[in-house]
Amino acid sequence: MNRKLIDQYEADGAIPAKAIQGLSTAELNAVPIPGKWSIQQVIIHLLDSDLVGTDRMKRVIAEDKPTLLAYNETLFAERLGYDRLDPGLACEIFRLNRKMTAAILRNATDEAFERKGNHTERGWESLAELVEGYIEHVHHHMKFIDEKRAKLGK
pLDDT at site 128? 97
pLDDT at site 147? 94
- Does 1 score more than 90 pLDDT? no
User: Could you tell me the pLDDT band of residue 105, with boundaries at 50, 70 and 90?
Assistant: very high
HSE, CB side, 13 Å, CA atoms: give it for residue 60. 31
- Does 7 score more than 90 pLDDT? yes
pLDDT at site 14? 98
Q: What is the pLDDT of residues 9-49, one digit of tens each?
A: 999 999 999 999 999 999 999 998 889 999 999 999 999 99
Mind listing the domains of the chain with CATH numbers? 4-151 (1.20.120.450)
pLDDT at site 150? 93
CA angle 62, 42, 99 (to 5 degrees): 40
Q: Are 119 and 134 a contacting pair, CB within 8 Å?
A: no
Question: For every residue of the chain, which 3-state class applies, written as one string?
Answer: CCCHHHHHHHHHHHHHHHHCCCCCHHHHHCCCCCCCCCHHHHHHHHHHHHHHHHHHHHHHHHCCCCEECCCCHHHHHHHCCHHHCCHHHHHHHHHHHHHHHHHHHHHCCCHHHHCEEEECCCEEEEHHHHHHHHHHHHHHHHHHHHHHHHHCCC
- Does 132 score more than 90 pLDDT? yes
Q: What is the pLDDT of residues 79-97, one digit of tens each?
A: 999 999 999 999 999 999 9
